[in-house]
Chain A
Amino acid sequence: MLAYTLRRVAMLVPVLLGMSIIVFMIIHAIPGDPAVIILGQKATPEAIAELHASLGLNDPWYVQYFSYLKNIAGGDLGTSIQTKTAISKEIGPYLAATFELTVFSMLFAIFIGVNAGILSAWRRNSWFDYTAMLIALIGVSMPVFWLGLMEQWLFAQHLNWLPSIGRVNARDPVESISGFYVLDTILARRFDQLEDVFKHLVLPGIAMGTVPMAIIARITRAGMSEAMASEYIRTARSKGVHEFMVVYKHALKNAFIPILTVIGLQTGMLLGGAVLTETIFGWPGIGRYLYSAISARDYPVIQSGILVIAVIFVCINLVVDLLYAYFDPRIKHR
């Protein structure tokens, strides 16, 4: 297991280097002068010259790349053109907000997806099975941002049940300690505010969690159907094991590995989708940070935002692979 872990980590080195090249290219592959593109056609020559100097655009490209590599290795993610602040300083709260939303969405997706999948497998070809699989099909085929908009229209604007924008009521901001509002409000013993935080999580959480929910439900159903048809489930039943235990303990144990894998992969994919969901729900996370940078052509933020998300994505995939190898020892001997 240790050898496999080491090999898997060693394989990351070329991947991370390649990622840094792609991200580096974002600014340098732009046709024309990046400074003009960033500042616009009407920028003064002085401003352009200044940006050239601050981005190091006057050096040859390989000098620029190595100094870029040195910077990111040292934790320097560059400076935002909009806010003139170091990106590494301002990115923290955005990451925390995205983290909170991701956890909430995944909990929703796992809870509904796994249970729906199990029930579908247990009652195959029942009306529940058909409905669940139809919803799952719609779930994977739907644009997330459209679902978010429709939610806003129905639950926020039409029915007025839930808030549609932000993490918390703007007139009563949370005093940030950890950046995770659920935690912060509990620490501050502001349970009324905690409720408000949860209400704000519901709509974006469901929007973001729908695709993983659908995929988890499909995988769970497939894995459980196979497990339920197996010999030892029949044995367990014939021994008089309670049906609930048969399904949730014996069968689920066997269908567990693919479900775990798909949960991990989907968590990573959520980070990409965050750009869309956070934009719609005004969620101050990394995705929205990136979106506003795109509209403002704030290239250092675009670069670093993409890099940070991709690095997290790679790390999640690493954990998934290692977990997979841990639970399924055959994989190590490939």
Chain B
Amino acid sequence: MMEKKKSSYEIQAAEEGTILPLHSLWRGLRANKLAMAGLTVLVFFIAIAIFAPLITPYAYDQGDLLNTNRPPSYKHWFGTDYGGRDIYTRIVYGARLSLWVGLASVLISVSVGSVMGLLAGYYGRWIDMLNSRLFDILLAFPSILLAIAIVAMLGPSLQNALLSIAIVNVPTFGRLIRSKVVSLKEEDFILAAKSIGMKDRRILFLHILPNCLTPIIVTGTMAIGTAILEAAALGFLGMGAQPPQPEWGKMLADSKDYLLKAPWTVLFPGLSIMLAVIGFNLVGDGLRDISDPRMKRG
């Protein structure tokens, strides 16, 4: 049933003169209600991140020491924190940081992982050995612990947290691409490309990489959600964003001592992280079901 549907997407796409994987994924996504719900959440967060200055009444670092830890009210929708700063404003600006860290770190992981996976899968031999061993080593750490180790080397900051999360996720994409390349390079059209006299670079980036795009998009979407969680965790441990940056994890860490007195200071940042991650997970689940009908058990 799914098979049939999928091929009809492809034919439609082809008739419109393009056959990009994005196209068939998008068609599938539109039919998946949960994924569309997730996408709506994501669009919402992206929108508030873009229009943050327009929809917030205060500056995110503007404190009011006479109004600390105030409960939600008409003036402060989500209340104020221990420094008297408006939590709603900080959450909205925090969306910028979290989405930025999630997107940028995954983009870095995908780029580095793709190149490493392409080289390892295509050339094999020692390049493959070296890459695979490196991936084994990186994957031998629980991910958050490796991120902590890297931040411990680089020093705590949002940039370094982003970088460490990117490094931690490289093996995920490296292995994904490698296995895809290993199977693709046996395909006749790659052999045909060689027989025509194409350079390796052209084969790798114009013929192999585009055919890896679908699994990259699926895994990448999920990875953004995980990256946001990891960034929040690093922020919570004081190894990520530094004050006064309104990073959600850091906000939780700073407010946790006022838990009894002002639970809203803890509630809203956590809810925001959760919602954003749910959005990425729903879209990721949906994309996976569309791209690989066998994975959908039902």
Give chain A's interface residues, CB within 8 Å of chain B: 11, 14-16, 18-19, 22-23, 25-26, 29-31, 124, 137-138, 140-147, 149-150, 152-153, 157, 222, 225-226, 268-269, 271-273, 275-276, 279-280, 290-291, 294-295, 299, 302, 306, 309-310, 313-314, 317
Q: Which residue of A lies closest to B281 (CB)?
A: A141
Option from A146, A222, A268, A310 in Cβ contact (under 8 Å) with B252: A146
Option from B136, B144, B152, B266 in Cβ contact (under 8 Å) with A18: B136
Residues facing A in B224-260 (CB within 8 A) are 225, 229, 232-233, 236-239, 249, 252, 256, 259-260
Residues of B within 8 Å of A26, CB to CB, are: 149, 152-153
Interface residue? B202 (CB, 8 A):
no
CA distance A290 to B147 in the complex (A): 13
CB <8 Å contact, B149 and A141: no
CA distance A149 to B298 in the complex (A): 37
Q: Which residue of B lies closest to A279 (CB)?
A: B237
Give 7 nearest A-B pairs by CB, closest first. Answer: A272-B142, A146-B270, A18-B137, A141-B277, A141-B278, A272-B144, A29-B153
CB <8 Å contact, B259 and A153: yes
CB <8 Å contact, A30 and B153: yes
Interface residue? B179 (CB, 8 A):
no
Q: Mark B136-173, 1 if CB is under 8 A from A, else 0.
A: 11001111111011001111000000000000000000
CB <8 Å contact, B277 and A225: no
CB <8 Å contact, B145 and A310: yes
Interface residue? B103 (CB, 8 A):
no
Residues of A within 8 Å of B233, CB to CB, are: 143-145, 276
Option from A124, A269, A294 in Cβ contact (under 8 Å) with B237: A294
| B48–chain A nearest beta-carbon distance, Å | 18
CB <8 Å contact, B137 and A15: yes
CB <8 Å contact, B225 and A150: no
CB <8 Å contact, B236 and A276: yes
Give chain B's interface residues, CB within 8 Å of chain A: 133-134, 136-137, 140-146, 148-149, 152-155, 225, 229, 232-233, 236-239, 249, 252, 256, 259-260, 263, 266-267, 269-270, 273-274, 277-278, 281-282, 297-298
CA distance A15 to B134 in the complex (A): 8
Indicate whether A272 sits within 8 Å of B298 (C-beta atoms), given known contacts A14-B136, A149-B266, A150-B267: no
Can you offer 21 A-B residue contacts whose CB atoms are under 8 A? A15-B133, A18-B136, A18-B140, A124-B298, A137-B282, A141-B278, A141-B281, A143-B229, A143-B249, A143-B274, A146-B269, A146-B273, A149-B270, A153-B263, A226-B297, A275-B145, A295-B238, A306-B141, A310-B141, A313-B140, A314-B140
Residues of B within 8 Å of A309, CB to CB, are: 142, 145
Residues of A within 8 Å of B239, CB to CB, are: 294
Residues of A within 8 Å of B274, CB to CB, are: 138, 141-143, 146
Option from A30, A137, A157, A273 in Cβ contact (under 8 Å) with B281: A137
CA distance A299 to B155 in the complex (A): 12
CB <8 Å contact, B152 and A294: yes
* Contacts A14-B133, A143-B232, A310-B140 known; 7 new A-B pairs at CB < 8 A: A142-B277, A144-B233, A268-B142, A275-B237, A279-B237, A294-B238, A313-B140
CA distance A14 to B140 in the complex (A): 11
CA distance A272 to B155 in the complex (A): 20
CA distance A123 to B140 in the complex (A): 38
